[in-house]
Amino acid sequence: MKQKRKIIKVGINVSFLRKSGTGIGQVSVNFLKKLIEKNWKSLERNIQYILYLEEDINWALPGNFKKRVFLPIWKRDDLIRKIWWEKYLLPRQVKKDGCDIFLSMYQCPTILKKIKHIMVVHDIIPRLFPEYLNNWRKKIYWSMTEKAIANAGKVVAVSIHTEKDLIRHLGISSADIFVNHIDIDEIYKKKVSEQKIERMMAKYDIKRGYVYAGGGMEVRKNVEGVIRAYKYLLEKNQKEYFLNHFPNLIVSGKLLPQLAPLITDAEKLVRELNLTAYVKLLDFVPQEDLPALYSGASVFVYPSFYEGFGLPILEAMNQSTPVVTARNSSLEEVGGDAVQYCHPDSISDIAGAVKNVLLNKEHKKELVRRGRERSEYFSWNKFTDKMLEYFSNN
């Protein structure tokens, strides 16, 4: 008689489904979609999944999926609620449900005893950039998070660079880490129609062929460097190389000058540099519009000072938009030989890299070709299969 295989209970913290526009939200959404897809197709289901949420989702789930939706008494979406939910309520519920394995989709203060805990770590930015810990609540949260990373049975780093950071700065053993590259949202993998691009150009009142900078207004993202490099390019090259038309600079990202110095006050900078006739700030752009914005650009510029992965450059490559990015952190790991690199702290170098892409048609064409090839290396299918392999073997 064939012996019945043991059912493994796997709990997953997917609370960031309620913030699907964030990087962690996108990772949670796309991993879960792929996991569900694989379970619909599978005839043999020896794994039961329990999804832990702070807000309910209206998704069609296979029979081996269950949901747990709960909140503390403190309902306000802030760090107090976050600590309460991740540090106390979640571990209690996971233990009650009898999970064999638990997957945290992001770094957080969750610590579990006698349960195999896998924690995905996207970056350790607060350790590397202490300015992010600008109040006591953030300091407490990050201190708890570092302790939880150290206590996890296995840490999943989204890049080799993040793996190195975990070893170097948090003292995590390499034996306790495995690298599993993430991917972008499926929306960026679809070719945008000419009609859709034209609609987006009309919606935002812009013309195709612009220099595009997106991905957020955090100082770390170096939007200031892009704007200053654009000014340098305008002054040094307009008369020599761009007599007929000098491309505009389009910048997207939430404009929150009140959060300076963590956020770049792009509006103020554009005014101070007398660039209002050349630079358009779009503020927050919904994700459904972003593929068309990438497609309408001549070049995407992202000279970030640090990234745990670098989703925006992969988004641009998938839309056949040539990329200028920094030679640092995980950006080289994602970009490979498919992007134009620059030094993020050199305005003239950023400007020179942008100029090279704009004026060298053969180079631009080659970057587009390599970008398409490079983007195929990353897939949610690979990411999910690696997770499933770990669930099954542990």
Q: What is the pLDDT of residues 72-121, one digit of tens each?
A: 998 899 999 999 999 999 999 999 999 999 999 999 999 999 999 999 99
Q: What is the pLDDT of residue 301?
A: 98
Q: What is the pLDDT of residue 235?
A: 87
Q: What is the pLDDT of residue 268?
A: 94
Average pLDDT over residues 294-320: 96
Average pLDDT over residues 362-370: 97
Q: What is the pLDDT of residue 5?
A: 66
Average pLDDT over residues 34-44: 85
Q: Tell me: the pLDDT tens digits for 182-232?
A: 999 999 999 999 999 999 999 999 999 999 999 999 999 999 999 999 999
Fold of 186-375: Rossmann fold (3.40.50)
Is pLDDT above 50 for 272?
yes
Q: What is the pLDDT of residue 244?
A: 62
Q: Report phi then psi at 291, rounded to 5.
A: -55, -40
Q: Which pTM does this prediction carry? A: 0.92
Average pLDDT over residues 232-245: 71
Is pLDDT above 90 for 14?
yes
Task: Decide which of 238 and 15 is more confident.
Answer: 15
Q: What is the pLDDT of residue 4?
A: 59
Sequence spans of domains, the chain: 8-183+379-393, 186-375
Fold of 8-183+379-393: Rossmann fold (3.40.50)
Least confident of 12-26, 220-234, 236-250, 355-369: 236-250
Is there a cis peptide before residue 261, judged by omega within 30 degrees of 0?
Answer: yes
Are 48 and 62 in contact by the 8 Å Cβ rule? The answer is: no
Question: At 238, is the pLDDT very low, low, confident or very high (cuts 50, 70, 90)?
Answer: low
Fold match flag (8-183+379-393 vs 186-375):
yes
> Within the chain, where are the H helices?
23-41, 79-83, 90-97, 125-128, 136-151, 160-170, 194-204, 223-241, 266-272, 290-295, 311-318, 331-335, 347-359, 361-375, 380-393
Give me the residues paired with residue 12 across strands. 51, 103
Is pLDDT above 60 for 242?
no
As given in the structure block, the two tokens for residue 299 are: 């070049």
Average pLDDT value for the chain:
93
Average pLDDT over residues 68-75: 93
Q: What is the pLDDT of residue 1?
A: 42
Question: At 236, is the pLDDT very low, low, confident or very high (cuts 50, 70, 90)?
Answer: confident
Which residue, chain included where needed, has tokens 């019945």? 4
Q: Tell me: the pLDDT tens digits for 127-163?
A: 999 999 989 999 999 999 999 999 999 999 999 999 9
pLDDT above 70 coverage of the chain, percent: 96
Q: What is the pLDDT of residue 240?
A: 62
How many CB atoms sit inside 10 A of residue 60's CB? 7
Are 296 and 197 in contact by the 8 Å Cβ rule? The answer is: yes
Which residue, chain included where needed, has tokens 């389009």? 250
Question: At 65, is the pLDDT very low, low, confident or very high (cuts 50, 70, 90)?
Answer: very high
Is pLDDT above 50 for 345?
yes
Is pLDDT above 50 for 324?
yes
Integer Cα distance of 164 and 172 in angstroms: 9
Task: Decide which of 373 and 262 is more confident.
Answer: 373
